[in-house]
Amino acid sequence: MTEATILALGGDGIGPEVLNAGLTVAEAVAAAEGLRLTIQEGLLHGAAWDTHGTFCADDTLARAKAADAVLVGAVGGPKWDVIRVPGGPEMQDGLMRLRYELDSFVGLRPARFWAPLADRTPFRPGVADGADILVLREMCGGVMFAKPRGQTERNGLRYAYDTAAYDEGEIARIMRAGFALAGQRSGRIVSADKANVMESYKLWRQVAVEVAEDYPDLTLSNMYADNCAYQIARDPLAFDVVVGCNLIGDFLSDLAAIVSGGLGMLPSACLCDVPDPGRVCKGIYEPVHGSAPDIAGQGIANPIGMILSVGMMFRFSLGRADLDARIEAAVERVLAAGIGTPDIGGTASTRDVTGAVLKVLAA
Ligand code: NAI
Ligand code: MG
């Protein structure tokens, strides 16, 4: 790809601050490579609510669908967290609506060990050194979206319910995404479920095993999610690619994230297709952290999760895995030089860290 249109949505709190850092890096990398990026800007969630009275305007959605990739800072804040509007869960949150409407079902949550941040992890020396875990979370189905769901009254008591449900197509496509990525990594993939107790996970496991037959060179292990969580915490080096449903993937990605040494360090992507190195796919890229209202406006937000998300965008939506690797290597150099924001024990500002990354990239 030599040109791409990117929709950039800052969102709330520190969202616009880190997005700005990410865009600076994206533009510098693109300019050095002769890639033409057209950056469109827009509002999401609280910022959109205050202007349009909706968390994600139809026009923003249309532009997201037309773009090659969407970059998001972060959304949310106490002012908007209490607002309830008519419609399903996707209508309560601008980001959820984007993910849902773009059918970006492949949640990618990589978590890796950074040697300079080893002391910020809870692990004994050696236990997590070199850890590099990629959790795939199914983003568009399962217990977070399936119907029926609701709140009512039963036997005079308040009663609430959700439905855990997947069809085989939804399971197969996220498993295929897992195998595609495992094939480019160690070849090992773990599928986490609760097939011991729940029907939807019995189907999940059955389909995982069926899909595995198409990837005879790769090794699938089916684990119960509770044991999987225990094993990740005990021995993170034993894991590479881990796949789970919307709920299990949510928990396991936060758990695996401990190896990184800081919430601000974590990138993520939601891809709209099974990733394939020979083809690009549309995706939403955002740091894992939230809008951090406690530090918003102070210029000290850690931009690295956002910058690494931009790297993922180059890899999956622009077909430039090499630029992702270059950005990650630059971050590594900056951390090794002891440059970091206060959340990871440093004294640098968002701008200092971004500038240091740019300097390494330009060298
Ligand atoms: P949070 O991730 O915003 O903050 C948790 C703690 O980590 C805070 O102390 C914050 O200062 C710190 N932190 C987070 N990112 C940082 C960064 N880049 N640099 C330095 N420090 C950082 O989570 P919290 O406080 O639970 O939620 C705040 C708001 O964000 C809520 O409205 C929540 O709904 C929303 N949220 C949005 C997410 C998203 O946009 N994907 C994800 C998680 C929460
Ligand atoms: Mg989470």
The pLDDT tens digits for 120-140 are 999 999 999 999 999 999 999
Fold of 1-108+266-363: Isopropylmalate Dehydrogenase (3.40.718)
pLDDT of residue 277: 81
Helices marked H in the chain — which ranges? 15-33, 46-52, 58-66, 78-81, 94-101, 168-182, 199-212, 225-234, 246-256, 304-317, 321-336, 350-362
Integer Cα distance of 4 and 236 in angstroms: 37
- The H or E element containing residue 224 is strand 219-224
- CATH number among 3.40.50.720, 3.10.290.10, 3.40.50.300, 3.40.718.10, domain 122-259: 3.40.718.10
Number of H helices and number of E strands within the chain? 12, 12
Residue nearest to atom 36 of ligand 1 (CA): 290
CA–CA dist 221, 176 (Å, integer): 14
Evaluate if residue 114 carries a pLDDT over 90. Answer: yes
**Angle ∠(38,94,327) on CA atoms, nearest 5:** 45
Q: Is pLDDT larger for residue 231 or for residue 278?
A: 231
Ligand 2 centroid to residue 92 C-alpha, Å: 16
The DSSP code for 264 is G
pLDDT at 1: 81
The answer to whether the CB of 244 is under 6 A from ligand 1 is no
Same fold for the pair 1-108+266-363 and 122-259: yes
pLDDT of residue 241: 98
Q: Ligand 1 pocket, 309 CB below 6 A?
A: no
50 Cβ contact list (under 8 Å, min separation 6): none
Tell how far the Cα of 211 is from the centroid of ligand 1, in angstroms. 36
- The pLDDT tens digits for 233-287 are 999 999 999 999 999 999 999 999 999 999 999 999 999 999 988 899 999 999 9
Task: Please tell me which residue, 38 or 87, carries the higher pLDDT value.
Answer: 38
Write the residue with the smallest CA distance to atom 11 of ligand 1. 292
Maximum distance among all alpha carbons in the chain?
69
Triad 287, 112, 221: Cα angle to 5°: 105
Instruction: Please report the pLDDT score of residue 303 as a whole number.
Output: 98
Atom of ligand 1 nearest to the CA of 74: 40
Residue type, 239: F
How far is ligand 1, taken at its centre, from the CA of residue 294, in Å?
A: 9
Listed by start position, the domains of the chain span 1-108+266-363, 122-259
Q: What is the pLDDT of residues 321-363, one digit of tens each?
A: 999 999 999 999 999 999 999 999 999 999 999 999 999 999 9
| 87: confidence class by pLDDT, cuts 50, 70, 90 | confident
The alpha carbon of residue 350 and the mean position of all alpha carbons in its chain are separated, in whole angstroms, by 21
Establish whether residue 228 lines the binding site of ligand 1, counting it when its CB lies within 6 angstroms of any ligand atom.
no
How many angstroms is it from 291 CA to the middle of ligand 1? 5
Q: Using one digit for the tens of pLDDT, what is the confidence trace for 144-186?
A: 999 999 999 999 999 999 999 999 999 999 999 999 999 999 9
Each residue's pLDDT tens digit, 13-42: 999 999 999 999 999 999 999 999 999 999
Ligand nearest to the CA of 75: 1
Percent of the chain residues past pLDDT 90, beyond the cut: 96
**Per-residue pLDDT tens over the stretch 39-76:** 999 999 999 999 999 999 999 999 999 999 999 999 99
- Is 292 close to ligand 1, i.e. is its CB under 6 Å away? yes
CB 249 less than 6 A from any atom of ligand 1? no
Mutational test site, ligand 1, from 9, 253, 291, 302, max ligand atoms within 8 Å of CB:
291
